[in-house]
Amino acid sequence: MFSKFILTIFTAVSVFTFAACNSQNAQTTSSEVKRYELNGKIISVDPQKREATIQHDEIKGYMPAMTMAFPFGKKDVWALRELKAGDKIGADLVIESDQSYYLEGVSISQSRDASGETAMPVELDDEKIGAEVPNFALTNQDDKRIAFNDFRGKYLLTTFIYVRCPLPDYCPLMSIRFSDLEKQIKSSPDLSNKVRLLSITFDPKNDTPKVLKTYGTGYLSKETKPNFDIWQLATGSEQEIKDVATYFGLNSTPDGTQIIHNLRTAVISPEGKIIKIYSGNEWKPADILNDIKK
């Protein structure tokens, strides 16, 4: 499973590099800047990194259609404040002589609001800190019913994923991080008795308990027979998933074979209260463990 995602990343990078070196439509002089027309749909925006992940159409003469992150030029940082998931944009992809690249001349060709789609709501994490989490009921990878109150007395780390997610720095990265946490927790007598992990799918139609078990097994430690004592994966009915996702601020919108979504990872105390919510992918396992130690 992990090697598949690494291969996906390598392939995307290889396509980008090969196209940059061999495009018939590009200028052949290495000292010249090259520009290509880009059109696509915003998947996510990261103002801090000054970039956006875009599902773009074929860039004629340069690269095939794919989903990847693009940095924005200095003159177009304004767009990062305006753009949201689902917006359709046009821009020039600028390739410098050193093969660095960025978007320039960004224009919003259609916003989610203008197209009649429902915009993703603003995330208000601070309002949840200290709140007691409702006793949401779900179904785990063994097709057994579980509930949040089952984890009382232990720290619970919960995140959201869907198995078919194609973006390496989204769901696959969350599962890699949880896999790393599972190994650290399992190897520590202290942590193994007081910390549990829970990954919740927001694609219950496709992510059945059997699918989740296969998916989770691919990420679990290879040294011993995989088990789900520390890290469980869960699904539920459409309404059950909607309820828990809405509570934690997980937003998702179907888009063809993909799902446009944000990221949410929560740290919950043994008393069932929210300690912290991470809204992106910047956190590391060490950050989570530090939250528990505080």
Residues linked to residue 198 through DSSP beta bridges, in sequence order: 158, 232
Report pLDDT for 31.
58
Q: Distance (Å, rounded) from C-alpha 276 to C-alpha 156? A: 11
The string of pLDDT tens digits covering residues 264-288 is 999 999 999 999 999 888 899 999 9
| Through-space distance between the first and last CA atoms of the chain, rounded to whole angstroms | 34
Q: Among residues 159, 146, 130, which one has the least CA distance to residue 236?
A: 146
Q: Where in the chain is the domain with CATH 2.40.50.320?
A: 23-110
Mean of pLDDT over the chain: 84
216 vs 231: CA distance, rounded Å: 9
What does pTM read for this prediction?
0.65
CATH superfamily of 23-110: Copper binding periplasmic protein CusF (2.40.50.320)
C-alpha–C-alpha distance, residues 244 and 248, integer Å = 6
Q: How far apart are CA 133 and CA 114, in angstroms?
A: 35
> Which range (17-21, 102-106, 125-129) has the least confidence?
17-21
* Residue 234: closest CA among 225, 226, 224, 244: 244
Q: Yes or no: say if 40 and 34 are a contact pair by the CB < 8 Å rule.
A: no
- Residue 190 CB contacts under 8 Å (≥ 6 apart), including other chains: none
Dihedral angle at the C-alpha atoms of 218, 223, 227, 232, nearest 10 degrees?
-50
Coil, strand, or helix at residue 5?
Answer: helix
Residues of the chain with CATH 3.40.30.10: 126-293
Q: Rounded to a whole number, what is the largest CA-CA distance in the chain?
A: 65
- Residue 138 near residue 246 (C-beta atoms within 8 A): no
What digits encode the pLDDT tens for the residues 64-118?
A: 887 788 999 999 999 988 898 889 999 999 998 877 899 999 999 876 555 444 4
DSSP secondary structure, 162-226, as one string? -TT---TTSHHHHHHHHHHHHHHHHH-HHHHTTEEEEEEES-TTT--HHHHHHHHHHHS-SSS--
Strand partners, 232: 198
Domain at 126-293: CATH code: 3.40.30.10
- Length of the chain in residues, anyone? 294
**SS3 (DSSP) at 76:** helix
Q: What are phi and psi of 175, to 5 degrees?
A: -70, -35
Q: Quote the pLDDT of residue 122.
A: 38
Q: Is pLDDT above 60 for 11?
A: no
Mean pLDDT for the stretch of residues 199-218: 96
Residue 249 has pLDDT above 70, yes or no: yes
How far, in Å, CA of 219 to CA of 161, rounded? 13
HSE-CB for 97 with a 13 A CA cutoff: 4
Q: Which whole number is the average pLDDT over 161-171?
A: 90
